[in-house]
Amino acid sequence: MNDHTKLLIRPLQKNHNRTGFHCGDPSLDNYIQKQARQDIKRHISRVFVATTVSQPDTIVGYYTLSTLSVELSQLPANLAHKLPRHPVPAALLGRLAVNKAAQRHGVGKMLLVDAITRTLAISNEIAIYAMVVDAIDQQAQAFYQQFGISPLSSNARRLFLPLKSL
């Protein structure tokens, strides 16, 4: 992928070619191909896609953002004891996938940075304590952990990044 540095990351639109997306994981392929537009319409999640300047309808990668509350018991004790005794608000990075042809070119990192940047911007308007990430497998978990995103105590595949740490 020659022009990966010229990515456009924006909300999923009708003109984006969802059927041509294949990342190697059937559940992530199926989501963007069949479920994403419905989740947007129902206000379940927001889907952001990366395309190149030269092929603005071809999805190179995508991620989803939604909200959730994190129970204090799920947080590490050193953080939980500093917080009020009720669930804390978080942004959920539920899915992140890169098309096979674009893998290993930094697209995943660029999508993650965009998701964090977008979450930080939103946190200026509404309260968001952390970004929570659902890692689909151990490889994805390792990817997130290299950026300082830590496992929640109750679920090793669910990770989090307190926004104050950024």
The residues annotated as belonging to the active site are 144
Say if residues 70 and 86 touch (Cβ distance below 8 Å).
no
Contacts of 159 (CB under 8 A, 6+ apart): 132, 133, 134, 135, 141, 144, 145, 149, 150, 151, 152
What is the tally of helices (H) and strands (E) in the chain?
Answer: 5, 7
Residue appearing with tokens 């890692």: 135
Residue 55 in contact with residue 19, Cβ under 8 Å? no
Q: State the DSSP code for 86.
A: S
